[in-house]
Amino acid sequence: MKNINIICISTIALVLASCSDFLDKGPLDTFTNDNFWTNENNVTGYANTFYQTFLGYGNAGGSGLFYYRTLSDDQAGNSFTNWTFQNVPASSTNWRDGWVEIRRANILLENVDNVEMSDEAKNHWRGVGRLMRAWHYYQLVRTYGDVPWVDQSLDITDDGYLYGTRENRDSIMDKVLEDLDYACQNMYDNSAKTKLNRNVAYAMKAEICLFEGTYRKYRKAEDNQSAPDMTGANRFLNETKSAAAYLMGKEFSLNSSYQGNYNSTDLSGNPEMIFYKAYKQSVLHHSLIAYISSSTQISGMSKNAFESYLFTDGRPLASTSLDTNDEAEFLVGTKTVAGEVVPDTVLSIRKMLEIRDKRLSETIDTALCYVGRGFTRFGTGISMTSSTGYGVSKYDNKNLENIYRNQTSANFTHAPIFWLATVYLQYAEACAELGDITQDDLDKSVNRLKSRAGLPPLTVDVGFSDPANNMGVSDLIWEIRRERRTELMFDNWTRYWDLIRWHQLDKLDSSVYPDILLGANIVNDPYNRVIDKVGTYIDGSKEMTRLFDKKHYWYPIPSDQISLNPQLGQNPGWN
């Protein structure tokens, strides 16, 4: 009997044969399928392993989904960031880990009925299994497109699954929606914020359905994809709207502090949180803040991202009535180093930040920092620099200064996974894409975010057209997309997948859109020590160029998987 606690089967259905020797061995501990599924506590312990799949800020020294993923137009990397794959990889953890978790979910689903517990409990744990199966299928589909559908835990005798073909991605996502609906209707309805429950199910449903609805609406057959499916798009967008509305009707409310969602050591009392990843000093930590406060040059905000933030009059750069000077101000002052007051000179953007969306000043430093003009944060004595001059401060917690100075790799601030701001954004976008949005829809969603950011409300008629709108969408949809970008800056690798579902991945081609790799304007720096510049702007790419190819809408299937099962085939453009 297989040990239920160890899933060695690399890529589940497709690589089971490679682990056959392991499966022939007896269990490595006292639990087997025959004696494990006996009570709900054991089921809870088994399901707790799903919590580990939410990376948050990372696990110990590993990178998470916030900040580190720099393949977007929001950041220019400290080393040039190109497409994840230039060639077909021999293997991939993206492919493998998804199937591992799907198999884990299927094992749970197959054993729920064997446990002595109430029908309500059985329905809940079925919901957990189906929710996690849906979550990992969603991530596989958005990455690879067509994939096999596996709804049982396989062994090496299941040749039909092991060597089958991939199923159309649309039919897979229809099954994902069925799993989501079951989870939303049957999981425990409680207010726990670090456990899988009905609120988390609705939050996942809102995210997944928004991705799928907009993906089906905007995809293009000429780019190796199916033609748009407006019927399917509207179905998923309506599901997004209803799922988000459910959560908006619950007890959640916006946190008073935007930055407080990202730099807190305890999110349990944060009214905005739906689900978060908890860290604990000396138990589970991350190194996010340590990395962005070190001598290693960090990945900075791009010029393109900086200019996406509205001014306090609610207008973009092209039409604001406020000062549009984007030049940093050279200041001479003092700073304290080891208790001694010493001269200090900085290039400050404080005045620029004062007339912008408040979220910008809570996301980046007021002082520019780049090679030749470093910046010390937290009194560490370490001179940090940014590839673009804009230093990332969104995750800082100044109350923990001594910890960062003395134990920089052991950060324990909590990471948001699903929270109310994302739900407001999903609701507004779904309404706008469906074409039935009202002023009330805006007022109870994105306008609450704008109020927290110190901006006037958005109206249905918008009142202006931004020349920066290069996506061919209405003024209203453009502004809602802007709101999503600025609210979720550097969050959860959101921007990359947004460009995928909007079919705007070509916006990452720096030969066409050079501002995505440029940084701050340093014309006022009297020392002007920066080597890599384009005119008066820092060149975050160091003269490198990222070129778009339509094949980048899909990741390539790893070659070892095609060797095991030739029927998988390869994604277009990767042969």
Q: How confident is the model at residue 159 (pLDDT cuts 50, 70, 90)?
A: low
Q: Give residue-wise pLDDT tens across range 501-527.
A: 999 999 999 999 999 999 999 988 877
pLDDT at 461: 98
Range with the poorest average pLDDT among 18-27, 247-256, 296-305, 443-452: 18-27
Rounded Cα distance, 44 and 51, in Å: 11
pLDDT in the model for residue 405: 55
What would the pLDDT profile of 250-271 be if each residue is shown by its tens digit?
999 999 999 999 999 999 999 9
Measured distance CA(385)–CA(518) in Å, rounded: 15
Residue 404 pLDDT level (bands cut at 50, 70, 90): low
Q: Which of 75-79, 225-229, 530-534 has the highest mean predicted lDDT (pLDDT)?
A: 225-229
Place of tokens 């009535």: 321
Cα torsion angle, 439, 440, 444, 448, sign: positive
Instruction: Provide the mean pLDDT of the chain.
Output: 89
- Sorting pLDDT into bands at 50, 70 and 90, what band is 17? very low
Give mean pLDDT, residues 225-229: 92
User: Does 151 or 398 have the greater pLDDT score?
Assistant: 151
What does the H/E/C string look like for 99-137?
HHHHHHHHHHHHHHHHCCCCHHHHHHHHHHHHHHHHHHH
- Indicate the DSSP class of residue 526: S
Per-residue confidence band for 464, with pLDDT thresholds at 50, 70 and 90: very high
* pLDDT number for residue 22: 29
Cα–Cα–Cα angle for 196, 92, 565, nearest 5°?
A: 105
Which tops the pLDDT comparison, 42 or 374?
A: 42
Q: How confident is the model at residue 104 (pLDDT cuts 50, 70, 90)?
A: very high
pLDDT digits (tens, 9 = 90+) for 466-492: 999 999 999 999 999 999 999 999 998
Express each pLDDT in 352-364 by its tens digit. 999 999 999 999 9
Name the pTM for this structure.
0.92
Note the pLDDT of residue 397. 87
Q: Check: CB of residue 179 under 8 Å from CB of residue 186.
A: no
Q: How far apart are CA 75 and CA 215, in angstroms?
A: 24
Summarised one tens digit per residue, pLDDT across range 123-134 is 999 999 999 999
Looking at residue 14, its pLDDT comes to: 37
